[in-house]
Amino acid sequence: MNHIVNYNLHTHTYRCNHASGTDEEYVLKAIEKGIKVLGFSDHAPFKDIHHYGMRMDYEELDGYIKSISSLKEKYKDQIEIHIGLEIEYDKKYLSYYRELLNNGIEYLILGQHCYYENGEVRYWMKHIDDFDGVKKYCSSIVEAMKTGLFLYVCHPDFSASNIKDPKILEYIGKVLGEASVKYDVPLEVNCGGILGNNYNSIINGTQCYPNHYTFSEISKYKAKVVIGMDVHSPEAILNIPSNFLKRFVDKHNLNLLKEIKIK
């Protein structure tokens, strides 16, 4: 099949409690769709945080690694499978990120969904509605890039859902595009925001990821970008028309990686 890329490293599982399907169903659908490299990256657990409906519990981590490892061996002649996690960054968890990468997790992708304040979860998407909030969001991502622990940044334009000012949206692209090049950490064109939306309005509008204004700025830096399907069901794998993704990439003249190497 003719796809814009033949990889996807942004795949969730039922363990996060907002996705469906078995691990093997994702693998079989990926093989059917012609995917050559499939990475599982469910929402990572934290030892000290129980967050039902957003991430797996820490007690599920070993089972996750064993399940994907088994599928990796079973289907090794048909598809390349990797074990990863999507995780938020906070400097207090630096040793934990390294622990994950030394104990069965092959890669981490940065999904900066939230931060914790006074014991409460605060989502960047919901709690950013001004320029100061956006600057804090961008700073946290740049700090994560500096560590060298993350393979790429998921939906860098995540906070765009609450922001309508083009200049602020362009600011996100400027800061993260510049840091992406400096620290050699790619940025993701996320397909999760495309499902259920009008393609033309996303190409030209201000919808949350992939965001027109943010990626227009990212392109100026020739920052490397990857495609992330962000699938939460087996049926969603490559459920985005390749011609749409190609239009978005071409429109912004993005420096798209045709393949990704797991470090």
Q: What is the pLDDT of residue 261?
A: 87
In this predicted structure, the answer to whether residue 36 has a pLDDT above a threshold of 80 is yes
For residue 158, give Cα distances in angstroms to 2, 187, 205, 217, 245.
28, 12, 15, 15, 18
In this predicted structure, the answer to whether residue 159 has a pLDDT above a threshold of 80 is no
Q: What is the pLDDT of residue 110?
A: 97
Q: Compute CA 120 distance to the chain's CA centroid, rounded to the nearest angstrom.
A: 23
* Highest mean pLDDT of the ranges 43-47, 70-74, 238-242: 70-74
* DSSP states along 94-153: HHHHHHHHTTT--EEEE---EEEETTEEEEHHHH--SHHHHHHHHHHHHHHHHHT--SEE
pTM attached to this predicted model: 0.92
Residues 118-154 pLDDT 10s: 767 777 777 676 788 889 899 999 999 999 999 999 9
Residues 181-208 pLDDT 10s: 999 999 999 887 665 555 555 555 555 6
Beta strands in the chain (DSSP E): 7-11, 37-43, 80-87, 107-110, 114-117, 120-123, 152-153, 187-190, 224-228, 255-256
pLDDT-derived band at 1, boundaries 50, 70, 90: very low
**Of residues 80, 64, 81, the one with CA closest to residue 13:** 64
Residues 206-218 have a mean pLDDT of 83
